[in-house]
Structure 1
Amino acid sequence: MSAQDSPAVPRVLIAEADPWTRDLLTQMLLSVRCDAHLDVCTDGQDALQLLQRQPDLVIAARELPGVDGLDLLRNVRHKSQRRAIPFILISERSDVASVREAVPLSPTAYLTKPLNLDSLKARLNGLLLEVGQQVFCEIPALTAGVQLETFLEERRQYSDGGPLMADVQVAVKRALNAQGLNLRQLEEEIRTDPQITAVLIAAANSAAHHRDAPAQTLLQALQKLGATQSMNLILGLALKRSARLSDPELAQYAERFWADSLHAAEYARTLARNLDVDQERCYCAGLLHCLGDLALLRALQEWRLGGGVLAPGQVDKALMDFGAAFGSALRTRWRLPLELRELIAAIYHLGGGVYSRDTLAMNLAGQLARLPAGASLEPIANGKTARLLKMDLAALTRLRRS
């Protein structure tokens, strides 16, 4: 059955303050009903206004600013003049008293954070699909007459980031054991994926988790988020459209940028170890420095899937014109820690002023990662960064061979 043939396209209201949980709920719902009309908000007052659109399902966090989720549920049950609207209440509270407080209002489900995605998906299937019903949605066509530059400028503002380079299902499966999800093992499985690393660090530093020092490495993010929330976010990334690049040409570009990221990360870690600065933070900065280029490639796949054409040379031109802008927009919108952003920026240029050892390490790592195979190291050895670090040609040669 196509989306157009569906007898009833549901309208769903999602009210959740945390941006990463909100995005996860959105993707999970669209994976069940890609044709659903979604109203998404971040506080209870807006949710009250959106209830006037008479949703077929409400998914709301109990801990909403303004009007909380419990009051929202109370309002729905009090004012509903038709059938009882299904209402899934999500809460950080799992104590008996909190659950008992909600029971008289008859929530369709009371789910606690971190969410059990299997349980949530089963609930959504039962609420939004008839028995045996399947819904298929066509990829929306591009706006008539839109130019590639305009499309990319718009996408830059709300890009989902880069494509996944790791197989998340395999990674999670390998990290599971009888005691649950092993965070150290999970880190080993996903540490080379720029998209997963960036999203987990951003989520760990969101308002819902931000306490003490910011997470600046993948392991710090995993430890702050915990096993279940980390797993949910990782699996949620795989639900998004174009999570992996299916276009052969664009996938080839992505492999090149991924290789550049890994080279920069490994050089940065080695240099950081030699200079006695934070190895894992430098590794993370190196890994993330090409995320903008990867995000741009994902946007170009969306362009092609929507019916757009890429003429010879347009991919390279788009990367040159928009790659850095995509990366800057992502790092700012995801609110990656300033210290981490500064290390990423140092890969491209030093700027003026006094240079820290980790800044110099990142700049040198970037130079080495961009050096073509077989090219001479002499220009780097004679450059400012190597001289400040007192690394001569022999030292750079050893580093390159390590």
Structure 2
Amino acid sequence: MNVLILEHHAPTAELLETVVMGLAPGLGVQLCGTIAEAVQAWHRYSPALVISEWSLPDGPGLTLVRRIRTQDKHLPILMISARSDKETVLAAARLGINGFIAKPFDVALLHQRLQPLLKTEAPSGRAVPPSLDRHLAEAAEGTIRLPTDLEQEDVLALMERRQELSPAELARHWRGQATLSARLLDIANSASLGRAGKPIDKLEAAIAAMGVEMALSQAFALSLDISRSLTDPRLAERAGFYLQQAEQVAAIARAMAISLGLEGGAFHTAGLLSRVGELGVIRTLQDFIRQGGTLSEQQIEDSLGRWAADYGNRVKIQWRLPLPLRELIGAVHLLKKNSTDRGPLLMYLAAMTVAGQQQQDEVRRLMRRVGLEPERWQRPPLHP
């Protein structure tokens, strides 16, 4: 179980850490000095409690509270501040914080206020493990989180505007995204995109070299990579497999569409989104473990089989995906009977190709129906 502390004054941060560590055995503490660091830590560690200072170097602590409350209405948040006027307290209360303590604070009072917010133990003194079914069901009713350094909805919004975006605008938008910048620079400096042996060392130049559409696709793929937030190796391995599978479906669907004279962007996006249900379940299982639950291999597989579709549908609604895009995503998993629409057919065929099923008579027949040569799309199947 983790506690996130956002406090830029080092002595105060150390005091808070000491108090928190005394609340219960086994607590992990993530200290952050800026809102940007705290947002990343919140995504990565899924804390059970957040303690935030009011005034930070990069803005008010309420910025973090607003960010959290858009996705999590129940996470306990305690604000601390040297300001204790009525306006300050009311501003924090309107955002649904669980407590407010004025500086300088009394350590004993702080300890007393924090203990009920963690709820680490049952009255018997023994930790109560969560119910897996209940945990999965409650998560499916709320906001499905895929915590990474990039917000998926932010990248999707940019993808909708891809025709009007310039490399300079994208570079400005992604300034400070170190992982994404490194990925785009690496791609831009690959053999296919290099320029006369001169390395590309600017983000804008990298985006210009690969094109805005490819840069956005790479950013979206990275935004779905939740591996850094997974501490269980079994879950991390499955997440890596599903992401690789989605990227392959995306690439093949795009290539198939372009070969038929269609615009490939929507097909690529649908492919990347084709495993968000599985990724959502995996992230929820990781939260279950962090809350004291244990999982067998069979429980992991059963949970993915039972809940992936529900979680995927929830994410489609949550991200307000347009109906045509939802239909393309759905065709990856199930092609409607007697479907004649080329879009869903291409997505289904891309999925079957990644699964190594392209030799089936029905698949070959469908390929010929949409104008594809089956022999061109031979691929070895992807295995977990």
TM-score (norm 1): 0.52
Aligned to 1:311: 296
What is aligned with 2:180?
A: 171
Cα separation, 1, equivalents of 2:40 and 2:358: 50
* Secondary structure of residue in 2 paired with 1:351: coil
In 2, distance between residues paired with 1:349 and 1:4?
Answer: 53
Summarize the Cα distance change of 1:175–1:256 in structure 2 as closer, same or farther, 3 Å threshold: closer
1:150 counterpart letter in structure 2? R
Structure 2 CA distance, aligned partners of 1:193 and 1:290?
A: 16
* Correspondences of 1:1-40 after superposition (within 5 Å): 1=14, 3=17, 5=19, 27=39, 34-36=50-52
Instruction: Answer whether contact 1:349 1:363 (CA < 8 A) is retained.
Output: yes
CA contact (8 A) 2:248 2:354 kept: yes
Gaps of 5+ in 1: 7-22, 43-53, 59-75, 89-126, 131-136, 199-236
Q: Contact (CA 8 Å) 1:162, 1:296: kept in 2 or not? A: no
Q: 1:187 & 1:140 partners in 2: Cα distance? A: 47
Q: 370, 375, 388: which is aligned to 2:355? A: 370
**1:244 is aligned to 2:229:** yes
Q: CA deviation at 1:329?
A: 0.5
Q: Determine which of 309, 324, 338 is the counterpart of 2:323.
A: 338
The answer to whether the 8 Å contact 2:277/2:308 transfers is yes
Query: Structure 1 CA distance, aligned partners of 2:104 and 2:261?
Result: 57
Q: State the 1:285 CA deviation.
A: 0.6
Corresponding residue for residue 324 of structure 1: 309
Structure 2 unaligned residues grouped into runs of 5+? 1-13, 21-34, 54-60, 68-77, 93-101, 106-114, 122-126, 151-176, 186-200
Deviations 1:71-100 (A, max 9, x none): xxxxx9xx9469x77999xxxxxxxxxxxx
1:308-329 Cα deviation digits (max 9, x unpaired)? 1002311111100011111110
The answer to whether the aligner puts 1:301 opposite 2:286 as a matched pair is yes
Report what 1:386 is aligned to: 367
The answer to whether the Cα contact below 8 Å between 2:242 and 2:275 also exists between their aligned partners in 1 is yes
Q: Find the aligned partners of 1:388 and 1:272 in 2 and give their Cα distance.
A: 14
Q: 1:400 to 1:197 in 2, by over 3 A?
A: farther
Q: Does 1:191 align with 2:208?
A: no
Structure possessing the higher relative contact order (Cα contacts under 8 Å, 6 or more residues apart): 1
CA distance in 2, matches of 1:140, 1:197: 32
How many positions carry a matched residue from both structures? 263
| CA–CA distance in structure 2, aligned partners of residues 140 and 172 of structure 1 | 40
Q: Which amino acid in 1 is paired with 2:217?
A: R
Give the secondary-structure state (helix, strand or coil) at the position aligned to 2:346.
helix
Mapped contact 2:180–2:219 kept (Cα < 8 A): no
Partner of 1:397: 375
Report the residue type matching 1:389 in the other structure.
V
Residue 271 of structure 1: CA displacement? Answer: 0.8
Deviation at 1:161, TM superposition (A): 2.3
Deviation at 1:190, TM superposition (A): 6.6
| Separation in structure 1 between the aligned mates of residue 182 and residue 104 of structure 2, nearest angstrom | 29
Summarize the Cα distance change of 1:162–1:348 in structure 2 as closer, same or farther, 3 Å threshold.
Answer: farther
Contact persistence 2:358–2:374 (CA under 8 A): no
Q: Distance in 1 between matches of 2:143 and 2:103?
A: 28
| CA distance in 1 between partners of 2:319 and 2:325 (Å) | 12
- Measured in 1, the distance between the counterparts of 2:350 and 2:241 equals 17
> Secondary structure in 2 aligned to 1:158?
coil
CA distance in 1, matches of 2:118, 2:91: 29
Relative distance call for 1:128 and 1:343 in structure 2 (3 A) is: farther
Alignment of 1:108-187 (within 5 A): 144=128, 146-156=130-140, 157-161=142-146, 169-173=178-182, 183-184=207-208
Look up the equivalent residue of 1:381 and give its one-letter code. Answer: V
